[in-house]
Chains A and B, each alone.
Chain A
Amino acid sequence: MNIIVCIKQILDPEIPPAKFKVDTVAKKVVCPEGIPLVVSPYDEQAVEAALRIKESRSDAKLTALTLGGAGAKDAIKHVLSMGVDEGIIVNDDAFEGSDAFGTAYILSKAIEKLGDYGLVLCGRQAADWDAGQVGPVLAEYLGIPVVTVAKEVAAVDGKVTVKQVLADGYRVLHMAMPALVTVSSEIGQARLPSGKGIVMAARKQVTVWSSQDLGCDPGRIGSGAARAELAELFVPSQDRKSEIITGKDVAEAAGNLAGVLRREGAI
């Protein structure tokens, strides 16, 4: 059974907030120098979910798929070193500026080209724009059922069983394959690449497909096909007091804090 995991390379979401800068004119996030891009954490967790399925059934073959530019190979190598079997990059100047619908369309063409698959896994959202759109849109384009925000995914015989995170617990859902599932961090930490994995990954060839290879309709890709426009991007202002309460010792400071909160009617 083939499992396809869609991964996106992004700015590390865990950089210190002080390093996060926005160019409000260009409406772009400024990548701080010397900070390498990473695979979006939820996508790493989708890879983790796929690897756990592979451990449970010997016929599972994992393919990572990414739409990306120059650094995409690093993202693919990273997940290959975690244990993914194959990597595919789709890259073309014509893809530049594609929105979630363009991206999902391109990914659907790549998945159709791959052919036979049982399960497609995505992250619940890419941890840069936090949209959470590509997964369910991709499922619609592929004509397969979808469940979002999973904390557990199992694939037994022809069925996928998903534990979907709810506000106050979870629910258990079943779908016939092929199906698409988006994975959340509740699945637990993704494994680190192993030494052996890194060696294996270095030897592997990564396939690159262009728009022409996929037979993409030019009207559905790139910035021209985008259904919305980014009008502004800014860092929200902080209007908190940021007052440090002190005292001659910790006990007094804690007492003063209680006093302030009491005076304000907070306690």
Chain B
Amino acid sequence: MDDHRGVLVVGELGQSRLATVTRELLGAGRRLADELGEPLGLLLIGDAVSGCDTEASALGVDTLYVAEGPHLAAYNGDVYMEIAGTVAGETAAAVILMGHTTAGREMGPRLAARLGGSLFTDCVDLALDAARWLVATRPVYGGNAMAGFVSKTLPQIATVRPKAMPETAACTGKNMSTVAVSTDSTLSRIELSEVVVEEAAGPRIEDAGVVVAVGAGVRQEDFGLVCDLAQVLGGAVGGTRLPYEEGWIPASSQIGQTGKMITPDLYVAVGISGAPQHMAGCTGAKRIVAINNDPEAHIFKMADYGIVADYKEALPVLIEKIREMTGA
């Protein structure tokens, strides 16, 4: 291929460490870099990012690019884009990876437009073909199908779905070098005025081991029953589109293609039909349980266990039995 070389991960920061999705990207990035026999770079942009260097080095990064400054504390599409574009251009990376997050959704396409590369969004698997072109697999048609694409152009840019790829275990650590990136040209046409946090009470659905989800089959006056089940299971409450639109749950608790992708150990769907756009958000659950009074409901095909019943009858008994078993 031409003079493009190496893998560059555009990272994001979590609480005083690398964001989980970035750790996942570094796993995939290290694997691809090894297959190519080329280096792995990580770009971090933020207020104070140098604290992440030990972690980056332990995850196999060869070169850390640091763009630091108080004006970089919050993601700004234009400013971050300028920095990522410069680093991607100067390093001439063959593969550029980022999370399918707010930042990645904007930067991926914009970078591809600027650099003239190929682009794959919301990928769940990445590999190389015999000619070392990137092969990206991603869900399409609301999760009804999977598509595999082969790149024909460099650089090859992919945004990766969070939680789709495993985090890597830390290795012994590399001789990582650090490069400071100039943040001078920070012209922005976008101005941030306010960040509003809207979260449901209790555990977050993306962190909870158990999630009980409410669907349009549940009447509003019975929403409390669903919450009770979540409570005895020590889990979080999520839902489909209607409960969000009706305001029973916040946007951050909607599960699915538009909502969140979650991977709990146990997912209990109450009064949910199992539309692909909803199931797209919970296919990563270890166990799926469905309660629905329609024996033909599609959700039963997507579930491990189901009971065909009116939730009004089933939930009180289920809650009682679980209480007896667990003493909750």
**Which residues from chain A sit less than 8 Å from chain B, CB to CB?**
11, 13-14, 16-18, 20, 22, 29, 100-101, 104, 124, 127-137, 139-141, 144-149, 151, 164-176, 179, 184-186, 188-189, 226-236, 238, 240-246, 250-251, 253-255, 257-262, 264, 266-267
Contact = CB atoms under 8 A, between A and B. Distances in A.
Interface-centre pick from A11, A179, A231 (highest chain B CB count, 10 A): A231
Given A167-B260, A229-B149, A146 B118 contact: no
- The interface size bin for chain B is 35 or more
B302 interface: yes
B110 A140 contact: yes
A196 B76 CA distance: 43
Contacts of A244: 295, 300, 305-308
Contact of B251 (A139, A148, A173, A186): A186
B106 A148 contact: yes
Contacts, number: 260
A16 B298 contact: yes
B260 to A, nearest CB: 7
Given A29-B145, A240-B302, A261-B289, A101 B113 contact: yes
Contact of B322 (A172, A232, A242, A267): A267
Interface in B204-234: 204, 206, 210, 233
A243 B146 CA distance: 25
A148 B105 contact: yes
A18 B298 contact: yes
Contacts of B251: 151, 165, 169-170, 186
Contacts of B148: 230-233
B contact patch SS: mixed
B189 A242 contact: no
Interface-centre pick from A129, A165, A184, A253 (highest chain B CB count, 10 A): A253
A115 B300 CA distance: 53
B213 to A, nearest CB: 16
Interface string B106-123: 101110111001111110
A124 B121 CA distance: 12
Given A130-B257, A243-B306, A244-B307, A175 B196 contact: no
A245 B152 contact: no
B145 A149 contact: no
A134 B251 CA distance: 25
Contact of B245 (A188, A226, A232, A246): A188
Given A130-B138, A227-B153, 15 more contacts: A124-B258, A130-B257, A132-B121, A135-B109, A136-B113, A168-B197, A175-B191, A226-B152, A236-B146, A240-B303, A241-B304, A242-B300, A242-B302, A246-B307, A267-B233
Contacts of A253: 307-309, 314
A172 B193 contact: yes
B192 A171 contact: yes
A133 B145 contact: no
Contacts of A174: 190-191, 193
Interface-centre pick from B105, B141, B298, B302 (highest chain A CB count, 10 A): B141
Contacts of A233: 140, 145-148
A224 B79 CA distance: 33
A171 B102 CA distance: 11
A258 B102 contact: no
Contacts of B31: none
The 5 lowest CB-CB distance pairs between A and B, nearest first, are A140-B113, A136-B109, A258-B321, A254-B317, A227-B118
Contacts of B23: none
Contacts of B105: 132, 136, 148-149
B241 interface: yes
18 contacts: A13-B141, A128-B141, A132-B122, A136-B106, A146-B77, A148-B102, A149-B105, A173-B193, A175-B189, A228-B152, A229-B152, A241-B304, A242-B300, A242-B301, A244-B305, A244-B306, A254-B307, A254-B314
Contacts of B189: 144-145, 175-176, 179
Contact of B196 (A171, A227, A238, A266): A171
Contacts of A141: 113
B314 A250 contact: yes
Contacts of B153: 227-228
Contacts of A17: 144, 274-276, 298
Contacts of A243: 304-306
Contacts of B289: 257, 261
Contacts of B34: none
Given A148-B102, A169-B252, A242-B301, A250 B317 contact: yes
Contact of B113 (A104, A132, A144, A261): A104
Nearest to B194: A172
